[in-house]
Chains A and B, each alone.
Chain A
Amino acid sequence: MVGIELRQEERNFVGSLKEQGILDNNFDHVLDLRSTDNPRFVVEVISMFLNDADNCIAELNRHLNQPVINYARVINYAHQLKGSSSSIGGRQVNLACRELRYASDNMDRDRCFEAFNKLKDEYQILKSNINMIIQIERTIIASESRRRRRLLHP
């Protein structure tokens, strides 16, 4: 059945991302929260995360490119992104945020830029990969919806 094959494809894909260190086991907790009464939960959570993360990255970019860096703001956004990326299982993004946080605590401008560049790179990798998971989820949802309709109207 298509749905089962897609689920296996998703599991394999998530497995490979975990092997690469892009995701950790916290992503499994998000998948576990999916249920028949809310099959779109994973799509919704990932979309929510990406929306907030895009905003964090934009704000960090803005603050770090000010003539005088407001380190308190940088710390705030780095901490926020660290928290949400941890909940979604975005391991490398979480680590990069931690590095940016340390650099901001020490008000080390050069280290901040280095950490932020690393964060941007890791975020793009995470974003492109979890967007693929969204696509798989949407395909699974569509497939299961068609299957239910066929069962109801044979």
Chain B
Amino acid sequence: MEIIPFFSIILFLSSPKNPFLDHTHTHHSGKLEISFMEFGATSRKKNKMVNGNQKFRTEITALVVDDDTTNRTIHRRLLQNLGIENQEVRNGKEAIDIHSSGRNFDLILMDMDMPIMNGIEATKQLRAMGIRSTIVGVSTRSMEEKVQEFMEAGLDDYQEKPLTSAKLISILHKMNHNGSV
């Protein structure tokens, strides 16, 4: 009987509650460790056994764009718990300004409704500036039309508030799957 080879990707989290906490990870270095573990892949045809444990690191930086203090604090804490270095701004215009100053981020968590410049407009302008960061819309809005408009502005993903560790992890999974490591 042929053994089908398979690969597992295990995302190690920096959460203190994670029983699989990778002891080499540091909270404040902004590094997220991803381990690939190959489990006894055997091919009868090729007659070879491959066992290995390859590790590589990726440094992810994030920008939180939200006009609400509570939301910014919670989102930053979520990012911090995953060891992701992060900054915050209070509206879309400040998001544009920080990029215009030369700063760049791997991940942008963009609120939709903000004063001065909303998330839809800010996303359009960032894309027009050539910003290729992963931009994830985060909002309490659930109306399909508004979400669609937000996506069409240039989002990579949309998550309904409140953001949780699980939602953030799924965002990071997609980022890694799209080859940002």
B78 lies within 8 A of A87 (CB)? no
B77 lies within 8 A of A84 (CB)? no
* Chain B 10-38: CB-based contact to A (< 8 A → 1; otherwise 0): 00000011000000000100000000000
* Interface membership of B85, Cβ < 8 A: no
What are the residues of chain B within 8 A of A88 when measuring CB–CB? Answer: 70
* Interface membership of B69, Cβ < 8 A: yes
Q: For A41, give its contact among B67, B77, B111, B140 (CB under 8 Å).
A: B77
Contacts A52-B70, A79-B140, A82-B140; is A87 near B77 (CB within 8 Å)?
no
Q: For A80, give its contact among B67, B164, B165 (CB under 8 Å).
A: B67
A33 lies within 8 A of B70 (CB)? no
Query: Which residue of chain B has its CB nearest to the CB of A29?
Result: B164
Query: Which residue of chain B has its CB nearest to the CB of A98?
Result: B140
* Chain A 12-56: CB-based contact to B (< 8 A → 1; otherwise 0): 000000000000001001101101111001001100110110000
* Interface membership of A86, Cβ < 8 A: yes
Main secondary structure of the interface of A (DSSP, over half): helix
* Interface membership of B52, Cβ < 8 A: no
Counting chain B residues whose Cβ lies within 8 A of the other chain, the interface size class is 20 to 34
What are the residues of chain B within 8 A of A84 when measuring CB–CB? Answer: 68-71
Q: How far is the CA of A114 from the CA of B16 in the complex (A)?
A: 45
* Chain A 52-89: CB-based contact to B (< 8 A → 1; otherwise 0): 10000000000000000000000010011011101110
B161 lies within 8 A of A83 (CB)? yes
Q: How far is the CA of A49 from the CA of B71 in the complex (A)?
A: 9
Q: How far is the CA of A151 from the CA of B3 in the complex (A)?
A: 55
B16 lies within 8 A of A87 (CB)? no
What are the residues of chain B within 8 A of A86 when measuring CB–CB? Answer: 140, 161-162
Minimum CB–CB distance for B121 against chain A, Å: 16
Residues of chain A touching chain B, judged by Cβ–Cβ distance below 8 Å, are: 26, 29-30, 32-33, 35-38, 41, 44-45, 48-49, 51-52, 76, 79-80, 82-84, 86-88
